[in-house]
Amino acid sequence: MPINKPLHLMRLGVHAEQKYFELNKDKFDIVVFNANLAHHFASGTATLMTSKLNGKKFIIDPITHAYGHHPRYIMTVSKDGSLPKIKSSLESLAYEYGPPISTAVSNGRQVSPNDFSSIKPIEQFAKSVIDFQANFLASAIDPSDRKYITLADIDAALKPDFLIAPYFYMKSTTINDWLEINTKLVAASKKVADDSNLYAEIVIDRGILDNDAELTKIATAYLALAVCDGYLLWISDLSEHQSSWSTLCGLRKLVGILAQSKKPVINLYGGYYSLLLFRFGLTGVCHGPGYGEDRDVIPVGGGLPVSKYYLNPVHQRLLFRDVQFMVAGDVWRNIEDFYNEVCSGPICQDVLSGDLENFIKFGEENVRENKGRTYSYPTTEARYLTTQHYLEAKAKEFNDVAEKDLKVLIEQLKEAKGRYDKEMPGAQLRYLDTWVAALQ
């Protein structure tokens, strides 16, 4: 059956974000949990899916790639000077998955292709990862709590919409090490997935998108996998706003090859460019509440929070101060111009209340002094407002892509570049030209 609207997936990064999922549950289709979060907060996750998000579809990304990197990338350094150790949520998940993951973790090393040199560890690992996704949340509900849940079939509500085979990250130098193992893991997972749909997750370095031979090798290997029911993509550290034309063309090509299977193809970390690839065979796009349109497989530090406002016509979160500068510079002559050109969603209507002077509320901040230095950071309310605005803008983008002709959407990108390029000092809107070129 043809899908006439892109699937909208939202990733829950931390449980504190639950309110955004609850408030916006009509705006997206599927919740994505990382396995370590689901495992570490099993009861809370199960409760979320049986109460506040009752009836919503969800999936669990098994994030098995985490164990294929050097352990230093998944370690935390404590402030008391003790030795770095594996993050507790990943350590406990490793023991849930069992060998060879648990063996590698207990030995303080990463998983290597040698750990999967025969079919037995492949089958064993695939089974434990699939079993975890299929059954763990249902087992996490305290039996005594079941009577308080009004759902007719709790266990069914805690089954993921589809299961994901274990996978490892591939870059140019490791394709030959991991590609065959990854495809074998998909085949082995299908054998234990019972009647559930099984997706293959393809996690690659963004550089592969620029290498036609490598890209084709990976895409055709997965295309040939008759056993899987869909594909998930994670192109590590691919910023659609900073990528070259050739990289974005590579993503389009990868989607095009996989779409030949007539199976769903979903980008787990994507922005508006990915959304436009709906017209080229991409089925869905995932992001987080206000962030998560790109992500490196290697965790990077967060830093201090910064206010950002999603400027809808340019499809990018910009620093609040830059958008405030545009407001102060009368880029929009009046509130009606702003509503027409930028956003007339409920949050913007409510915050602005007919007066652009109120735009400042999106950037309100607190200041504090600590150890002789001063900091400013967004207020909780400002973060809530910018996040809610982002989610409203995203929902509108998904609708627009479903409803409007691609030519119209491309024309809008060109218009936005012409309209705003000179209005933002230091702003880089060249990506809009790059997107247009990569889509034509």
Partner 1 sequence: MKELSLVETVSEYLDARSFHTVTELPFLQRRVDIVGYEPTKGAIIAVEAKVKNWQSAFRQAVTCLLFADEVYIAMPTEYIHRVDHSEIARFGIGLLEVNSSVHVVFKAVSSHYISYNHRKNVIDRVQWLEMLQLKGQYNANQ
Residues forming contacts to partner 1 in the complex (CB under 8 A) are: 304-307, 319-321, 324-325, 328-329, 357, 360, 363, 365, 367, 369, 371-378, 425-426
- Strands 265-267 vs 365-370: parallel, antiparallel or unpaired: unpaired
Residue type, 137: L
Closest contact distance (angstroms) between CB of 328 and partner 1 is: 4
Closest contact distance (angstroms) between CB of 350 and partner 1 is: 18
Cβ distance to partner 1 smaller for residue 120 or 371: 371
Cβ distance to partner 1 smaller for residue 73 or 377: 377
Cβ distance to partner 1 smaller for residue 286 or 323: 323
Question: d(Cα 308, Cα 290) in Å, to the nearest integer?
Answer: 9
Closest contact distance (angstroms) between CB of 416 and partner 1 is: 21
Cβ distance to partner 1 smaller for residue 81 or 372: 372
- Strands 284-287 vs 265-267: parallel, antiparallel or unpaired: parallel
| Tokens 């490793």, located at residue | 94
The β-bridge partners of 368 are 375
| Tokens 């570049």, located at residue | 417
Cβ distance to partner 1 smaller for residue 330 or 403: 330
Nearest CA to 338 out of 330, 409, 411 is that of 330
Question: d(Cα 202, Cα 94) in Å, to the nearest integer?
Answer: 21
Residue type, 211: N
The kind and range of the H/E element at 9 are strand 7-12
Q: Are 402 and 6 in contact (CB under 8 A)?
A: yes
Cβ distance to partner 1 smaller for residue 149 or 319: 319
Question: In the numeric block, which tokens belong to residue 408?
Answer: 């119209």
Cβ distance to partner 1 smaller for residue 348 or 413: 348
Question: d(Cα 153, Cα 155) in Å, to the nearest integer?
Answer: 6
Closest contact distance (angstroms) between CB of 356 and partner 1 is: 10
Closest contact distance (angstroms) between CB of 307 and partner 1 is: 6
The kind and range of the H/E element at 205 are strand 198-205
Closest contact distance (angstroms) between CB of 423 and partner 1 is: 12
How many residues belong to the chain? 440
Nearest CA to 124 out of 141, 100, 143 is that of 100
Closest contact distance (angstroms) between CB of 381 and partner 1 is: 15
Closest contact distance (angstroms) between CB of 338 and partner 1 is: 15
Give strand ranges (E) for 111-197. 163-164
Q: Are 322 and 429 in contact (CB under 8 A)?
A: no
Closest contact distance (angstroms) between CB of 152 and partner 1 is: 48
- For the CA atoms of 219, 221, 224, 230, what is the dihedral angle to 10 degrees? -50
| Tokens 């639950």, located at residue | 18
> Sign of torsion, CA 130 131 134 136?
negative
Question: d(Cα 238, Cα 293) in Å, to the nearest integer?
Answer: 9
Cβ distance to partner 1 smaller for residue 248 or 323: 323
Question: In the numeric block, which tokens belong to residue 29?
Answer: 């289709």
Closest contact distance (angstroms) between CB of 147 and partner 1 is: 48
Residue type, 95: Y
Cβ distance to partner 1 smaller for residue 78 or 374: 374
Cβ distance to partner 1 smaller for residue 55 or 425: 425
